[in-house]
Structure 1
Amino acid sequence: MSPLGEAPDALIDADLTVRRVDDAAGRRAFLDLPYTLYGRDPNFRPPLRFERASHLKRHLSGKEPTEQHALFLCERRGEVVGRIAAFLNRAHLDRYEDGAGHFGLLAAVDDQRVVAALLRAAEEHLRGLGMTQIVGPYDFSVNEEIGLPESGFDTPPMLMMPYARPALAEAVAATGYETKMRLLAFVVDLDAHYPRPPVVQKLQAQVEADPSLRLRKMEPKRFREDVRACMAIFNDAWANNWSYLPFSDEQVDHVASELKPLLEPDAFWIGEKNGEPMAFVVMAPNVNEAARDLSGRMLPFGWAKLLWRLKRHEVTTARMMLMGVKQDLQKSRTGVALVCSLFEEAFAAGRAKGIKTCEMSWVLDNNVDVQRLIKLSGAEVYKTYRMVGKAL
């Protein structure tokens, strides 16, 4: 490995070694680190190992628009104490032409020198590829796990939301990274805030009274068709968001495959106008809760426990992980009425299955319209994340 560039003396540790890994053993060590590093943390929820391995393989194999990947491990006297990935997202560069290389999958012990060494390695890699800035953390794409946790450490993360200790954000900031965007996660108690405010009741009544509007559950026999229709809504709805990237057809099919085992019809609601899908919400059971004691392993009996808990409705938390309304309706009363009504349908279905709490995430800090819409249900911000960057 080439030298990692200059850094303040206080951030250099002669006992640290950062190496790039590109063999099977190195990738296993890369994937294993969060489980050993955070395994005893009370709010860490181990993600499913097979899913994490499959996710990494998918990107490294070229099935996604990420390229020039570099995986780095930081070791102190032979012990792995940190990891980071650096890469290019070709779809992002083609859309924004901003010279931004990305980093992600950052995990480290509570030591600023380790974090600084990892970030220097990522910076050097991206600088060598001609990038002029580094931005992250992305779990490869804005449409996957993103963000550096900065508040809300007293509760565990929900499905597909990142975990880190408070020291990590502090260490990243200390190396000169500035905030590019903040992300908000809202939480709502599904048994509270009833009756809803008069404005919500009027919006629901509008949908019920308008024959051109219809709310329906996902239809299992046309699951992929419904997913494709709703991801088209998603691509239209969020096209003006910071760092937005549209889902490709292949990515939509992958989303359908990932969601199908998790979702019952009444977790996936669609709002139609004159028979055309115009809005949707997806409220998935929180797999992190169901898999809380499996250490991420599905064998020998982990898969049975997971399926049993999901099917028996033993999970009490959920995440509204996808939603959208077409831009044609976003500023209209009809669009607001459709989304509010979809929220209430999903909440009612969740309550019937024993869901007590729902996270609604993530929302950009500057997206005031969506924040107002979410707050109508009584939801409040309970976790925040930040995206950071630095000139190279």
Structure 2
Amino acid sequence: MATAAPTVRPVRTKRDTKAFIDLAYRLNANDPHWVPPLKQEVAGTIDPKKNGWFSHAEAQLFLAERGGQVVGRISAHIDRLALEQPAEQGFGPGTGFWGLFEAEDEGVASVLIAQAEQWLREQGMTRAIGPVSLSIWEDPGLLVKGHDHSPTVLMGHNSPAYQGWIEALGYTQAKKLVTYEVDITQDFPPLIQRIVANGEKNGRIRIRGVDKSRFDEEAAIILAILNDAWAENWGFVPLTPPEIADVGKKLKPLVFEDLIMIAELDDEPVAFMVTLPDMNEAVKPLGGSLLPFGWAKLLLWLRKPRARTVRVPLMGVVKRLQASRMASQLAFMMIEYIRRASVANYGATRGEIGWILDDNQGMLAIADAIESRINREYLIYHKPL
């Protein structure tokens, strides 16, 4: 007997929203490497009242059902700031997105993506990019390499079947993102140690940890460097004040003064590196819920984190120094100081750097110089509509 075709409908009610969130926990329940996100975090991401991204974007969520059961979900969304970016940087006029994708089988995937494409066409879009969930700064790309281990904090993980299903619908690679891992219990190669030592003798250079008591001021310094450093990168969309406020609220508990560095040259902040202890190690056993005692366990962990892995999700050097020896020296100094603190203060043995655009030669060279290796790859796909 043939399987009934799934039907797709928009998310309208609180019950729909709950079903949208809950589906991922059912479909990924048997994947030992999937980390169940906290449900309240997922709810905040899709709530326009709680996610500052919606101040310049709109999204429609869809559910796929078959036989009375929810079997798939997807978002279709438009980011007005992405529409304003130069087309040669990846987005630009006519570019819409889809994401938050989960599907029970290929038939479900096909009808969901078709629905997202139709919604984007109705909004005047001529090209679809996905998966991006929801902002390019949140969870971009489909995991295509690295399914054999769990993702670190703020990184995505999905079924390996999704790649074939998406590509069968005519989607091709728009960009590859890579993540590197490195053993941080070992000293970096002698050349890197000499570069760091020489930098420490240079009176013009100061590497400092952030001051959490001046959180907003430090965040503004990092943001200014980020927007300057990344402005010409593929997929860049500037962060807005509402998003910055939300990110600050979300990440403040994970901010530790010895893991986030700002580099100053002649007393001017010119580079930064953000490092986070892998909270996924504490979140994974909670199964997505802080009740009944998960909140206490997580609070205890946050007071004094012990983590096998630390992740560097963001780093940047001001544009005028990029491709210079000084930029590399500052980067290696920040990496080395954070490596020492991670091992000594958090019990970490492993570092992860990413995402990195696969054509970002400066960052790839730094990753190679510290003898790290690619452990995860994500693809962002596109297709004309």
Distance 2:96 2:53 in 1: 19
Partner of 1:185: 179
Identity of aligned residues (%): 37
TM, length-normalised to structure 1: 0.93
Partner of 2:285: 293
Which secondary structure state, in structure 1, belongs to the residue aligned with residue 337 of structure 2? helix
1:314-366 deviation per Cα after TM superposition (whole angstroms, max 9, x unaligned): 32112111111111111111111001110111111110120111211100111
Given that 2:64 and 2:72 are in contact with CA atoms closer than 8 Å, whether structure 1 keeps it comes out as: yes
Letter paired with 1:99: G
Partner of 1:308: 300
Partner of 1:232: 224
1:86-108 deviation per Cα after TM superposition (whole angstroms, max 9, x unaligned): 01100000223331111010111
Distance 1:61 1:262 in 2: 19
Q: Please, which of 353, 357, 364 is the counterpart of residue 357 of structure 2?
A: 364
Unaligned runs of 5+ residues in structure 1 are 1-11
**1:35 maps onto 2:15 in alignment:** no
Which secondary structure state, in structure 2, belongs to the residue aligned with residue 358 of structure 1? strand
Q: Please, which of 255, 258, 262 is the counterpart of residue 266 of structure 1?
A: 258
Partner of 2:45: 55
Partner of 1:3: none
Given that 2:53 and 2:243 are in contact with CA atoms closer than 8 Å, whether structure 1 keeps it comes out as: no
Letter paired with 1:116: S
**1:86 maps onto 2:76 in alignment:** yes
Distance 2:49 2:141 in 1: 19
**1:278 maps onto 2:270 in alignment:** yes
**1:107 maps onto 2:107 in alignment:** no
Which secondary structure state, in structure 1, belongs to the residue aligned with residue 377 of structure 2? strand
Give the drift of 1:68: 3.9
**1:379 maps onto 2:372 in alignment:** yes
Partner of 1:337: 329
Give the drift of 1:40: 2.5
Compared CA separation, residues 339 and 61, structure 1 to 2 (3 A): closer
Given that 1:66 and 1:87 are in contact with CA atoms closer than 8 Å, whether structure 2 keeps it comes out as: no
Compared CA separation, residues 68 and 282, structure 1 to 2 (3 A): closer
Letter paired with 2:127: Q
**1:218 maps onto 2:210 in alignment:** yes
**1:176 maps onto 2:170 in alignment:** yes
Distance 1:283 1:264 in 2: 9
Given that 1:65 and 1:90 are in contact with CA atoms closer than 8 Å, whether structure 2 keeps it comes out as: no
Letter paired with 2:68: G
Distance 1:22 1:154 in 2: 36
Distance 1:65 1:142 in 2: 15
Given that 2:212 and 2:255 are in contact with CA atoms closer than 8 Å, whether structure 1 keeps it comes out as: no
Distance 2:351 2:23 in 1: 29
**1:257 maps onto 2:252 in alignment:** no
TM, length-normalised to structure 2: 0.94
Partner of 2:384: 391
Distance 2:29 2:330 in 1: 42
Unaligned runs of 5+ residues in structure 2 are 87-91
1:19-73 deviation per Cα after TM superposition (whole angstroms, max 9, x unaligned): 1112111111111111111123100111111111111113787753454421111
Give the drift of 1:167: 0.1
Partner of 1:8: none
Distance 2:59 2:275 in 1: 32
Distance 2:102 2:298 in 1: 26
Compared CA separation, residues 354 and 62, structure 1 to 2 (3 A): closer
Given that 1:309 and 1:315 are in contact with CA atoms closer than 8 Å, whether structure 2 keeps it comes out as: no
Distance 1:314 1:61 in 2: 29
Distance 1:259 1:375 in 2: 28
Letter paired with 2:321: L
**1:202 maps onto 2:194 in alignment:** yes
Compared CA separation, residues 95 and 59, structure 1 to 2 (3 A): farther
Given that 2:311 and 2:354 are in contact with CA atoms closer than 8 Å, whether structure 1 keeps it comes out as: yes
Moved more, 242-251 or 181-190: 242-251
**1:69 maps onto 2:59 in alignment:** yes
Distance 1:73 1:305 in 2: 33
Compared CA separation, residues 44 and 62, structure 1 to 2 (3 A): closer
Q: Please, which of 340, 350, 359 is the counterpart of residue 342 of structure 2?
A: 350
Compared CA separation, residues 256 and 178, structure 1 to 2 (3 A): same
Give the drift of 1:184: 0.2
Give the drift of 1:252: 2.1
Distance 2:348 2:318 in 1: 28
- Pairwise CA RMSD of aligned residues? 1.7
Compared CA separation, residues 346 and 60, structure 1 to 2 (3 A): closer
Compared CA separation, residues 316 and 44, structure 1 to 2 (3 A): same
Which secondary structure state, in structure 2, belongs to the residue aligned with residue 284 of structure 1? strand
Given that 2:75 and 2:101 are in contact with CA atoms closer than 8 Å, whether structure 1 keeps it comes out as: yes
